[in-house]
């Protein structure tokens, strides 16, 4: 878990965006089964980013907009939260580039249970319904040996695509590596210049990679990514489900990663968020924040523990980072100690003897921090940079920011964070109810039910 850093010691913090949402649906599965999730499964940023937020739409040259708000921390009243929201450009389906998709489906024996292959079929039928005539899909399966079920077929032939999906049966051992090689070979053979070329992998994660090693598999995925074929990963079922492994594969493949635990989640991923799931509008998106030591004593980033980058990585266009899909929103929340506030989270150190502390003009301003952002266009090798300045204002915090803060607080409780302060399940429920807003799909109402479930289940004071 990220700890507080003194601005005097570390004024810069750099990280990659994370548009994966799998942690939330995985946490939901545990709670619905009457179990507290393991701490390692609670990736707070993925829980926050699971929800749709109506942040300000981009209107300029960049494919996403950034906004910020400074508010009091509900769980540490002396501290502040800096809420940063990125909103990707929404694109009508008709305006999206043509897709060249390869469905890579795990049909091994471990996929036979009702929450695996049957749910895969339902999910991919939903995806087929979103396809247009200019899109094409091939279907590759793997179980012991890899095989082509359907060569590249137009999105107009929906009955043919659905029939191929619905006729699949589970059985046999798994050799995922052979399947992924065939999937990439198929995608490259039918590559669409300027299109969306992507392998969509569905698995319970219980496969022997067959590429000699995990490292070999990652290298293969990176190589094909650099050739223009991205990878999205969908996890199904439980048991041997390799959560971290699936996330790493998607990250290496410039794709996203979702965990589908029920039909409504399939609808969310393939219908409600179709563009964001399958169409990249900005790749290698990085944030670097510089804090003003005259305004901020210390800070910590909530979540993003496995997304941290070295500060020098920000300007390195060879360094891979997360990708943003059409219409996606991304949220990052910093907990900050304002200058002059004392807290047990930040221990005093002696003044430095040899360091100069010259003030700049900017340091004397009311600016709290500068957020620098870098991204590449989907087909570009060189990044674009722009900046956003954060200063506390009088703006009203909206429902979206409030709700994301409620989710962050819930994550701190599930992790039994040392920084949870006065956080409580009751406080999360109250804030979530107050900020539920127009919850047409019911996701926020479901969140409140999950918090109530966790309140009943979590009867221990410390969870390691």
- The CATH number linked to 9 is 2.60.40.1230
Please indicate, yes or no, if residue 352 is contained in any of the structural domains. yes
In angstroms, what CA-CA distances link 367 with 313, 354, 386, 459?
A: 25, 27, 17, 43
Which one of 261, 278, 295 terminates a domain? 278
- Both 154 and 249 in one domain: the answer is yes
CB 180 within 8 A of CB 217: yes
pLDDT of residue 273: 84
Residues 123 and 212 placed together within one structural domain of the fold: yes
In the predicted model, what is the mean pLDDT of residues 131-153?
89
- CA dist 154 and 196 (Å) reads 14
Total number of domains constituting the chain: 2
Task: Decide: pTM greater than 0.85.
Answer: yes
Whether residue 376 is contained in a domain is answered as yes
The pLDDT score that the predictor gives to residue 52 is 92
What pLDDT score does 463 carry?
42
Angstrom distances, CA of residue 306 to CA of 14, 130, 233 = 12, 33, 18
371 and 295 both lie in a single domain = yes
Same domain, 287 and 222: no
Residue 104 lies in a domain: yes
Shared-domain flag, residues 138 and 240 = yes
Domain boundary, last residue among 278, 311, 330: 278
Give per-residue pLDDT as tens, 184-222.
Answer: 999 999 999 999 999 999 988 766 545 556 788 888 888
Percentage with pLDDT > 90 across the chain: 66
Roughly how many angstroms between the first and final C-alpha of the chain, as a whole number?
12
What is the token pair recorded at 280?
């990249």
The SS3 call for residue 122 is helix
Residue 148 sits in the same domain as residue 261? yes
Q: In what order do the strands lie in the sheet with 296-301?
A: 5-6, 296-301, 329-338, 80-88, 64-72
Q: pLDDT-derived band of residue 142, with 50, 70 and 90 as boundaries?
A: confident
How confident is residue 176, by pLDDT bands cut at 50, 70 and 90?
Answer: low
- Domain membership of residue 81 as a residue range: 5-91+281-457
Average pLDDT over residues 94-104: 92
CATH number at residue 254: 3.40.50.410
Look at residue 172 and tell me whether its pLDDT is greater than 70: no
Whether residue 372 sits in one domain with residue 252: no
Question: Is 347 inside any structural domain?
Answer: yes
Nearest 5 degrees, angle CA 232-CA 443-CA 155?
40
Residues 128 and 22 in one domain: no
pLDDT for the residue 240: 43
Angle (deg, nearest 10), helices 158-166 and 117-130:
170
Could you tell me if 224 and 293 lie in one domain?
Answer: no
Sheet containing strand 145-154, edge to edge, reads 145-154, 136-143, 99-106, 196-203, 230-236, 257-260
With beta carbons less than 8 A apart as the criterion, state whether 330 and 36 touch.
no
Decide if 298 contacts 5 (C-beta within 8 A). yes
Query: Does some domain include residue 464?
Result: no
**201 and 292 share a domain?**
no
**Helix (H) or strand (E) segment spanning residue 46:** helix 44-49
* pLDDT band per the 50, 70, 90 thresholds, residue 464: very low
Q: Could you tell me which of 430, 417, 43 has the C-alpha nearest to residue 244? A: 43
What average pLDDT does the structure give for the chain?
Answer: 89
Q: How far, CA to CA in Å, does 384 sit from each of 49, 52, 286, 291, 321?
A: 24, 26, 11, 22, 14
List of residues 6+ apart from 190 with CB closer than 8 A: 100, 136, 138, 152
For residues 395-416, average pLDDT: 94
Same domain, 268 and 353: no
Residues 19 and 121 placed together within one structural domain of the fold = no
Q: Is residue 463 part of a domain?
A: no
Domain boundary pick from 220, 245, 278:
278
In-domain check, residue 36: yes
50 found inside a domain: yes
Asked if residue 374 lies in contact with residue 331, where contact means CB atoms within 8 angstroms, the answer is no
- Return the sign of the alpha-carbon dihedral for residues 166, 168, 174, 178: negative
| Residue 339: pLDDT over 50 | yes
Residue 319 Cα distances to 75, 251, 252, 308, angstroms: 36, 12, 11, 12
pLDDT band at 274 (very low <50, low <70, confident <90, very high): confident
What percent of the chain has pLDDT above 70?
Answer: 92
């Amino acid at each position: 878990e990220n700890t507080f850093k003194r601005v005097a010691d570390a004024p810069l913090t750099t990280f990659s965006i994370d548009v994966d949402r799998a942690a939330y649906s995985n946490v939901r599965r545990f709670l619905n089964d009457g179990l507290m999730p393991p701490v390692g499964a609670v990736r707070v940023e993925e829980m926050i980013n699971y929800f749709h937020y109506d942040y300000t739409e981009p209107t300029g040259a960049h494919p996403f907009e950034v906004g910020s708000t400074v508010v009091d921390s509900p769980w540490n009243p002396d501290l502040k939260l800096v809420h940063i929201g990125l909103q990707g450009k929404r694109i009508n389906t008709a305006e999206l580039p043509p897709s060249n998709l390869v469905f890579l489906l795990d049909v091994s024996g471990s996929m036979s249970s009702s929450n695996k292959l049957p749910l895969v079929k339902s999910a991919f039928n939903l995806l087929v319904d979103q396809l247009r005539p200019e899109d094409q899909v091939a279907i590759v399966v793997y179980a012991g040996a890899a095989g082509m079920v359907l060569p590249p077929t137009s999105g107009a032939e929906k009955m043919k695509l659905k029939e191929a999906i619905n006729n699949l049966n589970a059985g046999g051992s798994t050799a995922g590596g052979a399947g992924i090689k065939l999937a990439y070979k198929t995608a490259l053979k039918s590559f669409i210049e300027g299109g969306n070329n992507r392998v969509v992998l569905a698995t319970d994660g219980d496969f022997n990679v067959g590429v000699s090693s995990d490292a070999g598999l990652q290298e293969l995925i990176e190589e094909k990514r650099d050739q223009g074929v991205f990878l999205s990963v969908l996890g199904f079922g439980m048991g041997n489900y390799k959560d971290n492994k699936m996330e790493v594969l998607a990250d290496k493949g410039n794709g996203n990663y979702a965990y589908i635990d029920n039909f409504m989640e399939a609808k969310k991923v393939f219908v409600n968020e179709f563009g964001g799931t399958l169409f990249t509008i900005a790749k290698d998106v990085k944030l670097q924040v510089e804090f003003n030591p005259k305004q901020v004593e210390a800070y910590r980033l909530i979540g993003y523990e496995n997304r941290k980058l070295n500060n020098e990585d920000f300007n390195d266009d060879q360094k891979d980072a997360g990708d943003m899909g059409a219409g996606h929103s991304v949220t990052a929340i910093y907990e900050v100690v304002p200058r002059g506030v004392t807290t047990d989270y930040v221990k005093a150190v002696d003044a430095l003897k040899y360091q100069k502390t010259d003030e700049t003009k900017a340091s004397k301003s009311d600016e709290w921090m500068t957020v620098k952002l870098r991204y590449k266009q989907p087909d570009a090798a060189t990044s674009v940079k722009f900046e956003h300045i954060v200063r506390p204002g009088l703006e009203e915090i909206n429902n979206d920011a409030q709700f994301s803060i409620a989710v962050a607080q819930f994550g701190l409780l599930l992790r039994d964070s040392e920084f949870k302060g006065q956080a409580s399940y009751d406080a999360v429920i109250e804030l979530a109810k107050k900020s539920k807003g127009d919850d047409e799909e019911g996701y926020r109402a479901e969140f409140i039910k999950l918090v109530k479930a966790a309140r009943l289940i979590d009867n221990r004071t410390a969870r390691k």
